[in-house]
Amino acid sequence: MTRRLSENVHLLRYPHPSSLRRTSMYASFLRISDALHLSIFQQPPMNPVFRQAPRVLWILPALVFISFLLPSPGLASRIVINSEDQYNFALKMMEKGEYLIAVGEFERFIQFFPHDRKIPEANFLIGVCYLKAKDYENARNVLQGTHSKYPDTEVGGKALFWIGESYFRQRAFSEAERYFASVVEHYDLPQLKNGALYRLAWARMHSRKWKEASQTFKKIDKESDLYPSAQELAEKSLSGEDLAYKNPNTAGIMAALLPGLGHAYCRRYRDGLMAFVVNGLFIWASVESFHEGHEVLGGMLTFLELGWYAGNIYSAVNCAHKYNRHKKNEFLKNLPDRLNLHLFTTGSKSMGFALRINF
């Protein structure tokens, strides 16, 4: 018995029905294989309804699993954001320098909490965010809207101040002056007024109105943190009058009298030489053309020379203006600007901007 089993051990792995039928182990093997797997030799007869059951059993858990993956308000935990959280998140984005995201968050705050007491501040901060993102046109639109909506409030004053600041940053100093002067005139809040006076004086210095700037600095209150700096600047700004400027009119007249002379007046000798040579060549060529009887060629050269001549005058005047601007900027660079604008993001009852003194 043992020998026969060892000889036919492969039949246990790969049994052949015909051979198994001939062995006495067949019945016992069938019992074992039935226990292990029903379908080795033949499928047992199944009820059609029962045949569908396993498929159904797989589909149901799959559906349950998918339902977990889908966003389901019924199953997800509900998040409630109050107005304070939303506002603080927007401020956080602003502090991180993500200004356009902050704009979106402030707008979300306005959309979902339209009756909150911080709505004016949120409107104002949207404008400031645009300004910090250097989108000046949008900034001014928003700030102007805020100012129009809340004209007699602190936020309205701040909005007007920041419109001026936007022009100041774009170096449109005459426009900036107009807005800062308006803040000084219409708002009596000490911090806001002193800040506007300080910026107004700076705008006047950029416009080379040195005496006016000095007088404006002197108007800053003694109680203000800016007072010491303002006193210093009131004196120093007067030195701007003594800077060695070049007169653009003189440069233009000199260039008209002799091409290149205006450049030399502005200490640009190479450019002056170039202007002299080019204009001289064109004038000489034009005269020679007319002298030789080539009127058309002479006319064309004269036409081109007119361009060079006009360009020479323009260039001399331009050089004088650029020289003066450079001198002024070098002078202003050495003056201390103690005004730094920082929005408070803590929700305290502040002015909305801080004045920081740098020593």
Partner 1 sequence: MKPIIRLFLLNALAFCLVLAVLSPVSASADGLRANSPSSSKTREAAFNPGVWLLKLYRNTISSVDSDRCPSFPSCSQYSLDAFRKHGFFTGWVMTVDRLLHEGKEETSVSPMVYSGGRWKIYDPVENNDFWWYHPPKSKDHD
Interface with partner 1 (CB under 8 A)? 137, 140-141, 144, 163, 172, 175, 248, 263, 268-271, 274-275, 278, 295-296, 299-300, 303, 307-308, 310-312, 314-315, 318-319, 321-323, 325-326
Q: Closest separation between CB of residue 106 and partner 1, Å?
A: 21
| Minimum CB distance to partner 1 smaller for 284 or for 314 | 314
Say how many CA atoms lie within 13 Å of 164 toward its Cβ: 29
Q: Closest separation between CB of residue 311 and partner 1, Å?
A: 2
Q: Closest separation between CB of residue 190 and partner 1, Å?
A: 26
Task: State how far the alpha carbon of 148 is from the alpha carbons of 111, 153, 159, 198, in Å.
Answer: 20, 10, 9, 24
d(C-alpha 359, C-alpha 51), whole Å: 88
Q: Closest separation between CB of residue 79 and partner 1, Å?
A: 39
Contact partners, residue 258, CB within 8 Å, separation at least 6: 276
| Minimum CB distance to partner 1 smaller for 95 or for 330 | 330
Q: Closest separation between CB of residue 282 and partner 1, Å?
A: 11
In this structure, what token pair is assigned to residue 135?
Answer: 């989108």
Q: Closest separation between CB of residue 120 and partner 1, Å?
A: 19
| Minimum CB distance to partner 1 smaller for 140 or for 209 | 140
| Minimum CB distance to partner 1 smaller for 92 or for 327 | 327
Angle formed at CA 141 by CA 136 and CA 142, multiple of 5 degrees: 100
Q: Closest separation between CB of residue 73 and partner 1, Å?
A: 43
**In which region does residue 344 sit, left (phi positive, over 0), alpha (psi from -120 to 50) or beta (all else)?**
beta
| Minimum CB distance to partner 1 smaller for 172 or for 189 | 172
Q: Closest separation between CB of residue 162 and partner 1, Å?
A: 12
